[in-house]
Chains A and B, each alone.
Chain A
């Protein structure tokens, strides 16, 4: 093992790593898409009147909250082909990214269902009543009055969940996905495991900048969308 820290490794690894951000973004983007859809369904179950639906949705959230990402990742990676195998379907050729996206969609859905539920519940019931009292139909009331307000409330938490997703996504390398983290492992391997520290620092810098950028973006979005919303309840 080489014992000397060499900054040039950090600088040189950056251009090799950055192209693989594409994969990282693809995983995050697809997981946000599917996770948000499923999150909406779960939130509707939590808000709705069916007791069974409620139990299922809350149970789902609790279980997912208690499962480490890496465990969920391997459960889907080994479990789904096994289940498919039992039905005589061979899915061994399916790209690894599919399992990664499934894992993080499931996880993101649990987080989003809470984000959506709490933001929906933060909107005073009187807003809906006022809307129907001036002649809006219930669906118009939701679309024009409730959702726009709930959306603003949800933004910061959505941003936080997105950050978490990006960071947890780094674990996809463990099943062999070549995203930015996977590429880093390849580079380290090619260096015969020397100068690993420098490569990891380069990775950390990339993630750090990315996180700050996302954070700033959401602060901006919040400002843009939060018209008239400095105070929700004044009384």
Chain B
């Protein structure tokens, strides 16, 4: 087991967003979390990377065993070295070029030598199809290109796992494809990924496990086939009926 989370709770004010979620991820897993908006998917991801502090919960990252509520600064820093994050609105560093965005974490966070970092960074950008854009600033890139830089930035760190928080939902429809293709490629290379998304085709084609969340709990989980073809829970069925076209089942 590479990542194991148990009983994670999180409230904002009186609003309980996560009500005791468990999650296990093995090396090489591509896990997709589905669920209606407000179900707590994004919050779960953010708690794993300590962008939000959980109210309760426990995590084991490889050899690090940590309480999500009381983790020390040092533990948080160590875990963040193992986990990379791809944001919904890209969050590229506006004052840095594409290449600098990718190398920043390597040089400053991981103390990789500058020349080496630049080489890694260029390779990562090549991989996402942006060999021409090393020195472009985020404001000079399209949304799709920005998100591909965001993915390159995560991949370059060579993390144990990459968390994707709705990576395509801020994009214009015609730009979604290029980002999904890149994600598919890195999944095929054996990268461990935890993805929150509304792209059913990605879940169906790429994931080896799908988790359905609603109202702060995991309702059901299984292979894509389990979830899309034979959902057991009523809530899952209702959700799928709403988000999938009438005749979608036939394409699986």
Contact = CB atoms under 8 A, between A and B. Distances in A.
Direct contact of A and B (CB under 8 A): yes
B110 interface: yes
B158 to A, nearest CB: 11
Q: Which of A134, A228, A235 counts the most chain B CB atoms within 10 A?
A: A134
Contacts of A228: 94-97, 137-140
A152 B96 CA distance: 13
A187 B85 CA distance: 68
A144 B81 CA distance: 18
A149 interface: yes
Contacts of A127: 91, 93-94
Interface in A180-235: 227-232, 234-235
12 contacts: A127-B93, A131-B104, A133-B49, A134-B84, A135-B81, A140-B109, A145-B96, A149-B95, A229-B95, A229-B139, A234-B138, A235-B143
B170 interface: yes
Given A136-B105, A148-B95, A228-B139, A129 B51 contact: yes
Interface string A143-167: 0110011001000000000000000
B87 interface: yes
Given A126-B87, A229-B139, A134 B104 contact: yes
Contact of B93 (A132, A135, A145): A145
4 closest residue pairs by CB, A with B = A135-B109, A134-B105, A228-B137, A126-B91
B53 to A, nearest CB: 13
Contacts of B87: 126, 129-130, 133
Given A129-B51, A140-B109, A134 B95 contact: no
A227 B137 contact: yes
A124 interface: yes
B74 to A, nearest CB: 10
Nearest to A134: B105
B80 interface: yes
The range of chain A's interface size is 20 to 34
A133 B93 contact: no
A74 to B, nearest CB: 44
Contacts, number: 86
A137 B78 CA distance: 10
B157 interface: yes
Given A134-B105, A145-B95, 12 more contacts: A126-B87, A130-B93, A133-B83, A133-B84, A135-B105, A136-B105, A144-B104, A145-B93, A227-B137, A228-B138, A231-B139, A234-B138
B94 A232 contact: yes
Contacts of A148: 95
Interface in A105-135: 124, 126-127, 129-135
A231 B96 CA distance: 13
Nearest to A140: B108
Given A124-B91, A144-B108, A229-B95, A135 B85 contact: no
Interface residues of B, number: 33
A126 B88 CA distance: 10
A227 B94 CA distance: 9
Contacts of A140: 108-109
A233 to B, nearest CB: 9
A113 to B, nearest CB: 23
A229 B94 contact: yes
Nearest to A137: B77
B166 to A, nearest CB: 12
B89 interface: yes
Contact of A126 (B77, B89, B110, B137): B89
Contacts of B93: 127, 130-131, 145
A127 B109 CA distance: 15
B41 interface: no
A229 B138 CA distance: 8
Contacts of B105: 134-136
Contacts of A232: 94
A144 B105 CA distance: 11
A134 B82 CA distance: 9
B137 A136 contact: no
A175 B138 CA distance: 53
A132 B139 contact: no
B192 to A, nearest CB: 16
B94 A132 contact: no
Contacts of A129: 51, 85, 87, 91
Nearest to B138: A228
Contact of B94 (A134, A137, A149): A149
